[in-house]
Amino acid sequence: MIKFILAALTIGVGAGYVNNNLTTFVASNWVTDYLFNASLFVLLFVMGLSFGIDKEAVAKLRSKGLKILVVPVVVALGSILGGLLGGLILRLDIYASMAVTAGYGWYTLAGPLMKQILGTEWAAMGFAVNFLRELLTIITVPLMVKVDKYAPIASGGATTMDTTLPVIVRYCGSDVLVTAFSSGFALSMIAPFTVVAMASLK
């Protein structure tokens, strides 16, 4: 499955390059505003459908209750701490570094927010770091699952509710679907606030 994901990504990059350099048709706005959102909604519908059909998953969610929030809280703290350590090691502004990692892999959010608050340079950093987090999660899931089946959930951050969820379920098993989705959903909800909060400390 990983090879098909990487192949699709490569084809997409190639199509984008051709669109920008070799043709007069500009598809960027149409693709980002409509096609991407539509495909994401379909993905979420299918995953929601599979979750709703799975009676055991629904029962597990009810039984866990507030305990289900432990994973996203730990992932959020670990992500921000990683930004702090990265800033110290690379001698970057630690608050801006923590703001970058507080995007939890949501690069389409982190980039624009960082641009508004800290400028173009940090916007590029916010996009790149969070995009690589998602990409590396997809590529390394087969390796991480050998360490612990919940490791890919921590690595995926906010993306575990959509883009990385199918890969995680494929390699880690359907029993992690509830934890992965709820963690990604919770992190997606708090990401805008944590990015702004960390950047505001600068």
Predicted confidence (pLDDT) per residue in 44-95, tens digit:
576 667 667 766 656 666 666 667 889 999 999 999 999 999 999 999 999 9
Q: What does the block give as tokens for 69?
A: 């929030």
Question: Model confidence at 126, in pLDDT bands (50, 70, 90)?
Answer: very high
Q: Where are the domains of the chain?
A: 54-200
Q: What is the pLDDT of residues 127-169, one digit of tens each?
A: 899 999 999 999 999 999 999 989 999 999 999 988 899 899 9
pLDDT at 1 over 90: no
Kindly report whether the global pTM for this prediction surpasses the value 0.85.
no
52-71: burial string, b at 16+ Cβ within 10 Å, e else: eeeeebeeebeeeeeebeeb
Side chain identity, residue 199 = A
